[in-house]
Structure 1
Amino acid sequence: MRVLHVASEVFPFSRSGGLGDVLAALPVTQARLGAEVTVVSPWYAALSGTPEEVWRGEVPGVGLVWAGEVREGGVRFLFVGLPEFERPGLYHPDDVERFCAFGRAVLPVLQALDLRPDVLHGHDWQAGLVVAHAHLAGWRTAFTIHNLQYQGRWNLAEARGWTGLPDWAFSPEGVEFHGDLNLMKAGLVFAGQVTTVSPTYAREITTPRYGEGLEGLLVRLTLEGRLSGILNGLDQDRWDPRTDPDVLPYADAAGKAANGAALRAEFGLDGAPLLGVVSRLADQKGMDLLIEALPELVDHWNVVVLGGGDPLLTAALTGWAYHPRVAFVSGLNEGLAHRVYAGADAFAMPSRFEPCGLSQMIAMRYGTLPVVRETGGLVDTVPHDVGFQFAEATAGALAAACREARTTFGDTVEWRARLERGMTLDFSWDGPARQYLDLYGKL
């Protein structure tokens, strides 16, 4: 089967979060299972190196476009170069216009290269317009929602000319959404099959609480048999405490203890158990709840937080840096993230919603027990005999779950049993990759 993925980022070339991680692992796994896989993504000016150029030409309505390729892990990575992406960084305020240009350029590039897959699989709103144009060209299409909150909306009167879509598409049944162009909706409307990244999130987004205004359309897709949830996997080679070069390698609780001691020494923390956080600093992730709960948490835990995002949340956490049991590092730091997963005893994820989440899987693989809110992929991945769950998105509920975890930590036998069960869970991509290949078969 010839599969073509389209996404705005793919690790290790470009990455801002979990989307890039998925596009690093899923295509490689599908290729190992026998599929012929290509991944298409923009070439950002910030990327290092130069892909081998395979095409250059004019695309109507877009302008000069070039394409280059890199082959790794049995996958062909095809990068599309556009003037709109020749600036620092990945994402910008005018991204709807930029990804409309990308959305119009992809099919002409593929056609020029005589590359037509059996299935084109778009990921998140940045690929929504590609899915629409592929459907209109008669291609089979799938589309995955990684986070419904981000939809790629822009005033329709201004954005209409950016898309290259026919007039009939600009209706409530098409890409129009409350007077805006909505590129997430474009993917949902035009895809033959739609998935989300966990079964629980697939159910949640059909409700007003989580549907972000699109719940009516998503209910319809469910009734038509076109919406399902396939749980993300984890790159278990990249995230393996036995071989991780950023930590003191270990395979059991005894080896993990050395990493805890190293993390305490790194930040000058005392002997209390460690509660780790590696997260975007955003309301979605419940970081305000964590900050509100800190006065109680520090009575029982050392708290190590790594993350960047909302300036107000960053400032609030910076204000806690004086406390001898709190360590906060702002921004992205891959090596430190690995050390937090390895050195922490428990890992907090108080998300208001969580389409899937990778951090809880990584934490358990590293013997770190998650304290999570009961939502989305956190429900589907954290067993009750490993981690700790709480229902309400409140600081009090988070603090209560952390109290339960701290009490359990005092029972050495029980804690070690939970730790060892977590380290043996299988989150590999083989199962999800096969589910996607089966889904393509429906098309």
Structure 2
Amino acid sequence: MQVLLVASEVFPYSRTGGLADVMAALPEALVRLGLDVTVLSPWWQSLNGTPREVWRPSVARGGRLMPGDLRVGQIDEAGVKYLFLGTPEFDRPGLYAEDDVERFSRWGRQVLPTLSSMGLTFDLIHGHDWGAGLILAHARQLGLKSVYTVHNLQYQGRWNIQDGMAWSGLPESAREGVEFFGDINLMKAGLVFSDHVTTVSPTYAHEITTPEYGERLEGVLQERQAQGALSGILNGLDLERWNPATDPDIHRMTSLSGKAANIAALRHEFSLDSAPILSAVTRLVSQKGIDLLVEALHEVTQDWNVVVLGSGDPLLEAALTGWAQHPRVRYVSGMNEALAHRLYAGSDAFAMPSRFEPCGLSQMIAMRYGTLPVVRETGGLVDSVPPEVGFRFAGATAADLTRALRTARASFENIHDWKARTQRGMVLDFSWEASARQYLDVYERVLG
């Protein structure tokens, strides 16, 4: 089976979050199941690594493109072919920007004609999140089978319908499948035109069919559910990248051996006192509920040292910067891969007070590194954090989070309970094999 996976980012070539991590691990897991897998992503100017250029048009195409405006580069890694399609819109520093709907629309309309010009064909196209949605609309026009995965329904790729239809290259007959309250919606395109929709945990698959979590697309999702074309498949974890026994950024850990050394190193790095360490590695956005943690810090710091790594909302950044003057609070702005590893290994507990969480990988990493998650009961957090390991709470309030952290602190004082929870968490199986087999089942159903 020849499968093309399409996404806006893929680790280690481009990354802003969990989508890139999935696009690094899932393709390799599918290859191990015997599939022929190609991953396609934009050729960002800031792409890590230099792809080998394998195709460039010699003539103008579509009445607009001049020679050299399109180029395709390739990197082969672990049995997976990574293709990067370059268009002028992506030839500038950074990744996402305010004109992304236009950029991904113009890029998306070039994908299938470019692959066809290269002589590349696939049995199935698997698009991921809104950046790939338009491609599945074009695939439907060509009679190609497709699967669409929602990683986060909140980010949809919307713009006014007049501009959007012009950029998309879609026929007017496809308008109903992409129009959304007067806008074009690239997420809706993927939901409507794919043969099957998946999302990244079973609980989130249910949640997004409700008004509370459906982001005004719950009607479309209810229809796909009624068709038997909506599934929830829990993401796996890259067990080689996140292996405490071989991780070069930490003191190596086998079972609980080495955990104390990592805690001591983190305590020294941030000049923390003897209280247990609670950390968070996160985007500072409303979804992640870090404002609840900030609101609760007056009480939380009575029991915990708190270290937060992340960036995003300027108001949250400012609040955390102010709190960093407190002897038990530390805040590091931005993304720092090595520090993230040290936080997972050197913390006692890990906070994820998310308002919603499609899947989440941080809680899986934390447990694998002997750190107990404190999580809200939503989405993939429900599906991956057993109550006999982590500490779960229902309400999206600072008071609920505070109560859960008090329970966690009481467990911490009971050395036998804490150790048992930690050991159970470290041996949970979050490998990609089971998830990849579920995707393969979906592919086979779609292909008949």
Q: Same fold (TM over 0.5)?
A: yes
Aligned to 1:126: 131
Residue 366 of structure 1 corresponds to 369
Alignment pair present for 1:343 and 2:346: yes
CA shift for structure 1 position 62: 5.8
Pick the aligned partner of 1:410 from 404, 407, 413: 413
Structure 1 residues 287-327: Cα deviation after superposition (integer angstroms, max 9, x where no partner): 11010010000000000110011110000000011111111
Say which SS state the counterpart of residue 56 (structure 2) adopts.
strand
Q: Does 1:396 align with 2:396?
A: no
| Match among 156, 159, 162 for residue 157 of structure 1 | 162
Q: CA offset at residue 252 of structure 1?
A: 2.7
> What is residue 241 of structure 2 aligned with on the other side?
238
User: 1:322, 1:296 → 2: CA distance?
Assistant: 16
Tell me how far apart the structure 2 counterparts of residues 120 and 285 of structure 1 sit (CA, whole Å). 31
Output the amino acid matched with 1:41: S
SS of the equivalent of 1:393 reads coil
The one-letter code of the counterpart of 1:60 is G
- Alignment of structure 1 residues 128-207 onto 2, 5 Å: 128-171=133-176, 174-207=177-210
Matching residue's letter, 2:246: T
Report runs of 4+ in structure 1 exceeding 4 Å deviation. Answer: none
Q: Is 2:83 aligned against 1:81?
A: no
Structure 1 counterpart of 2:76, one-letter code: R
Deviation at 1:53, TM superposition (A): 1.3
Whole-angstrom CA distance in 2 between matches of 1:250 and 1:72: 28
Partner residue in 2 for 1:11:
11
Unpaired runs of 5+ residues, structure 1, are none
TM superposition shift of 1:48: 3.8
Change (3 A) 1:231 1:244: same
State the 1:427 CA deviation: 0.2
Residue of structure 1 equivalent to 2:106: 101
CA distance in 2, matches of 1:112, 1:425: 46
Distance in 2 (alpha carbons) for counterparts of 1:394 and 1:60: 53
Measure, in 2, the Cα distance between the counterparts of 1:298 and 1:70.
47
Q: How does 1:15-94 map to 2 (within 5 A)?
A: 15-57=15-57, 58-60=60-62, 63=65, 64-94=69-99
* Secondary structure in structure 2 of the residue aligned to 1:319: helix
- Aligned-residue sequence identity (percent) comes to 64
Cα displacement (A) at 1:254: 3.9
**Matched-pair contact (CA < 8 Å) for 2:134–2:186:** yes
Q: Determine the structure 2 residue equivalent to 1:300.
A: 303
More displaced 10-residue stretch of structure 1: 91-100 or 134-143: 134-143
Q: Distance in 1 between matches of 2:257 and 2:327?
A: 26
Query: 1:55 deviation in Å?
Result: 1.2
Q: Is the 8 A contact 2:12 2:48 kept in 1?
A: no
Distance 1:409 1:61, change over 3 A: farther
Q: Please name the residue that 2:312 is paired with.
A: 309
CA distance in 2: counterparts of 1:361 and 1:102, whole angstroms: 34
Do the aligned partners of 1:62 and 1:105 also contact (CA within 8 Å) in 2?
Answer: no
Partner Cα distance (2:403, 2:313) in 1? 26
Q: Look up the match of 1:436.
A: 439
How big is the shift at 1:38? 0.1
How far apart in 2 are the matches of 1:358 and 1:149?
Answer: 18
Is the contact made by 1:59 and 1:65 (CA closer than 8 Å) also made in structure 2? no
SS in 2 for 1:348: strand
Scaled by the length of structure 1, the TM-score of the pair is: 0.98
Q: What is the rounded CA distance, in whole Å, between the counterparts of 1:62 and 1:116 in structure 2?
A: 24
> How has the CA–CA distance of structure 1 residues 177 and 302 changed in structure 2, closer, same or farther, with 3 Å as cutoff?
same
Q: Indicate which of 418, 423, 428 corresponds to 1:425.
A: 428
Match of 2:118 among 102, 108, 113: 113
Which amino acid is the alignment partner of residue 123 of structure 2?
D
**Per-residue Cα deviation, 1:377-422 (whole angstroms, up to 9, x for no partner):** 0000000100000000000000000000000000001100000000
Amino acid across the alignment from 1:234: L
Query: Are the structure 2 counterparts of residues 224 and 311 from structure 1 closer, same or farther at C-alpha, using a change threshold of 3 Å?
Result: same
Partner of 1:318: 321
* Counterpart residue type for residue 191 of structure 2: L
Aligned-residue offset at 1:61? 6.3
